Amino acid sequence: MNQIVLTGFMGAGKSTVGKILAQELVLPLIDIDTEIEVKHQTSITEIFANLGESVFRNIEHQMLVSALSRDAIISTGGGIILSKDNRIQLGTANFVVYLKTSPSTFLNRLKGDTTRPLIQEKSKEEITALFESRTELYEEVADLILETDNLTPVEVAKIIKQDFQKRRE
């Protein structure tokens, strides 16, 4: 199957790199958060506020299962790895890449972002602790761990594409 799944914390560049990879490999991009918003005709923030995180996580799981049945570049939400069921599903994926970023990098990228419900009204320390609590889970499901702090999205996409193609040979 021609499939690359991008995981990582908020602000890691999953959506940006996903778009580049989709163009480079001529595959559709499935951005799970975007797909959820389109299907439910509301924002992730609104789903969290009105239905709660557990309902969102259930919707997210269903979207992941659907996405994994297709040839595509799949960009996941930062919390997708919290569910054991999702980690099991990711284990069936063709190629999972963890875009690893340092707290200083993602905090800089997330400044002023009001679209991510889990970081609203949280301090830098709380956001960093959230990241640190997830690091092992990202690494657990990854076929490739790519530190992205000093790379452009184009460079990240190029490395992923090369690694993906080598694995297919």
Check whether 14 is labelled as a binding-site residue: yes
Check whether 134 is labelled as a binding-site residue: yes
Check whether 167 is labelled as a binding-site residue: no
Q: Which candidate, 68, 74, 90, 67, places its Cα nearest to that of 137? A: 90
Check whether 16 is labelled as a binding-site residue: yes
Check whether 33 is labelled as a binding-site residue: yes
Structure tokens at 138: 């990202």
Check whether 122 is labelled as a binding-site residue: no
Check whether 152 is labelled as a binding-site residue: no
Which stretches of the chain are assigned E, i.e. beta strand?
3-7, 29-31, 72-75, 96-100, 144-147
Check whether 91 is labelled as a binding-site residue: no
Structure tokens at 13: 């560049």
CB distance 4 to 21 below 8 Å: yes
Check whether 13 is labelled as a binding-site residue: yes
Residue set of the binding site for Mg(2+) = 15
Residue set of the binding site for ATP: 11-16, 116
Q: Residues at the annotated binding site for substrate?
A: 33, 57, 78, 134
Positions at the binding site:
11-16, 33, 57, 78, 116, 134
